[in-house]
A and B are shown apart, each in its own frame.
Chain A
Amino acid sequence: MDNLTYYIQQLLAGISVGGQYALIAIGYTMVYGILRLINFAHGDIFMMAGFFMVYASASLPLYMSIPLVLLLTVILGVSVEKIAYKPLRQAPRMSIMISAIGVSYLLQNFATYYTGGLPRPYPVIPFISETIVIGSVTTSWITLLTPVLTLALVIGLVFLIKHTKIGMAMRAVSHDFETAQLMGIKTNNVISMTFVIGSFLAAVGSILFFTKYPTVTPIIGAMPGLKAFVAAVFGGIGSVPGAVVGAFVIGICENIIKSLGYTTFSDAFTFVLLILVLLVRPSGLFGEKSTDKV
């Protein structure tokens, strides 16, 4: 019985971590879908969202600092696109990718410089960090809230993509950039919108993440960022549902491995999975198979 409780707790924790990865992974997969760019700076946007909260909450109450963090993160994400990616639109894809890596290091080093490299404690958000006991299972509100919030956001996003004009434009741009232009679509606006959504979700993900791992460091974005990236590749990069499924699979598997006592290997598992996916099914679970144009 004790064992069962333990496993349920681990499973819940896995679902919760999966939800956080999913929120980050959507940013990777959508940007890839539109620009065919792996946005290596995305994990660092997530990290910056953490620092925004640290500094915002120092002088503002939470009900003001949370919206402020969301807003600042969105501005940061869109600015990165305008400054570092947009001028390279006509350049070979490798250039824009290197630019993304540059932005990643820039943000990490800026954070190190500004904070002195010291880990900063993340503010405690009341209520959601409290523990809750259901039957014999002890967990926290955040663990239950994360997957619910993630799914709600994903459903909202899928609705936006499928049933709104901007969503239709996003699908068009991701499929055929040039023809989308010929329809009169302002592709730059669509790209900005993609970064708005990706950064917003990364900011929500960071609030959920740091409620559980409550210190922010300049390199904290690297590992969740990489895992979300693996989730996006596993699900089929470019596909939103794929990224979400991939993220939950990775979150749950990692926690199952931890619960079996192999914590050391949980990260290794994720990256072995990446290698296997690339070897066996490079287009991922839901990825579009590349078809040659006639």
Chain B
Amino acid sequence: MLKIEHLSVNYGGIEAVRDISFEVPDGSIVTLIGANGAGKSTTLRTIAGLLKPKSGTITYNGEDLLGKSTNEIVGRGITLVPEGRRVFPDMTVLENLKIGAYLRKDNLDADIRWVYDLFPRLEERSWQAAGTLSGGEQQMLAVGRALMSKPKVIMMDEPSLGLAPIVVQGIFEIIKEINRQGVTVLLIEQNANMALHTADFAYVLETGRITMSGPGRELLKDENVKKAYLGK
């Protein structure tokens, strides 16, 4: 279980995350929803070791993750699919997948096969430079690249950003499929509707604070959530 307690993070001169606590049980899909600037990305980037928190603790299965470098955190099976996909555009699709497995020393063939089965489009384009892919394909590649590290927990920062609705559907199907195969998912989204339908448990983040939490399906029915995030 990934456990965040009393986490506060300063970012860009403001306290972007204020004293939040939440947990991600093994095998679940947990989502943080909230508006732009609510502190969602800051939270994920802190867990990944890219930002240093002001206070609080982050533990994974009882082990303290604070103060560990990003490569140590990746080595413990926690990976982040960054916002905006950030594939390496000059490298081929296959190279992008291989670099996702950078810390591994074992044979990659089976996992490349696994990713290609999840995303057949990537196999078709395996020799193409990643920069030539469409937005949706780049998102698939970013997810596939993260899967190549054989993560136990995959964190995704706005996977639906800038994608056509039909493509977003596909991405969320894949998220569920990855979860069925045993990977824990921590998802942050502005697309609250999709996220809440997918998640086992959800937290609502407002200006750095958690204001609400509950099973995804329950929050969908909540009047405040409907008004603020579902446009109903």
**Residues of chain A having any CB pair with chain B under 8 Å:** 165, 168-169, 171-172, 175-176, 178-179, 181-186, 293-294
Contact = CB atoms under 8 A, between A and B. Distances in A.
B56 interface: no
Given A183-B102, A184-B103, A175 B88 contact: yes
Judged by DSSP, the binding face of B is loop
A38 B74 CA distance: 31
B96 to A, nearest CB: 9
B82 A183 contact: no
A184 B74 contact: yes
B80 A294 contact: no
A185 B162 CA distance: 28
B90 A184 contact: no
A171 B162 CA distance: 27
B125 interface: no
Given A165-B102, A168-B98, A182 B88 contact: no
18 contacts: A168-B99, A168-B102, A171-B88, A175-B90, A176-B86, A178-B86, A179-B88, A181-B70, A182-B50, A182-B74, A182-B79, A182-B80, A183-B74, A183-B99, A183-B103, A184-B71, A185-B71, A185-B99
Nearest to A183: B102
A188 to B, nearest CB: 9
Nearest to B91: A171
Interface of B: 48-50, 69-71, 74-75, 79-80, 82, 84, 86, 88-91, 95, 98-100, 102-103, 145, 149, 162
A169 B103 CA distance: 11
B164 to A, nearest CB: 14
A186 B149 CA distance: 15
Judged by DSSP, the binding face of A is helix
Contact of B100 (A171, A176, A181, A183): A183
Contacts of A293: 84
B90 A171 contact: yes
B71 A181 contact: yes
A181 B88 CA distance: 13
Given A175-B88, A178-B50, A185 B82 contact: no
Contacts of A184: 70-71, 74-75, 102-103, 149
A182 B51 CA distance: 12
B71 A172 contact: no
Contact of B50 (A168, A181, A185): A181
Contact of B88 (A165, A172, A178, A186): A172
A161 B90 CA distance: 13
Contacts of A171: 88, 90-91
Contacts of B102: 165, 168-169, 183-185
B86 A179 contact: yes
A182 B99 contact: no
Contacts of A172: 88, 91, 99
B79 A168 contact: no
Point out which of B84, B99, B149 has the most chain A C-beta atoms below 10 A from its C-beta: B99
Contacts of B149: 183-184
A118 to B, nearest CB: 47
B70 A294 contact: no
A179 B74 CA distance: 12
Contacts of B74: 182-184
Nearest to B89: A175
B19 to A, nearest CB: 25
Point out which of A171, A175, A182 has the most chain B C-beta atoms below 10 A from its C-beta: A182
Given A183-B149, A294-B162, 20 more contacts: A168-B98, A168-B99, A169-B102, A171-B90, A175-B90, A178-B82, A178-B86, A181-B50, A181-B70, A182-B48, A182-B70, A182-B82, A183-B74, A183-B99, A183-B103, A184-B102, A184-B103, A184-B149, A185-B71, A186-B71
Contacts of B145: 183
B84 A294 contact: yes
B51 to A, nearest CB: 10
Contacts of B86: 176, 178-179
A165 B99 CA distance: 8
A145 B176 CA distance: 62
A11 B91 CA distance: 38
Contacts of B48: 182
A175 B99 CA distance: 13
Contacts of B99: 168-169, 172, 183, 185
Contacts of B49: 181
A293 B138 CA distance: 14
Contacts of A175: 88-90
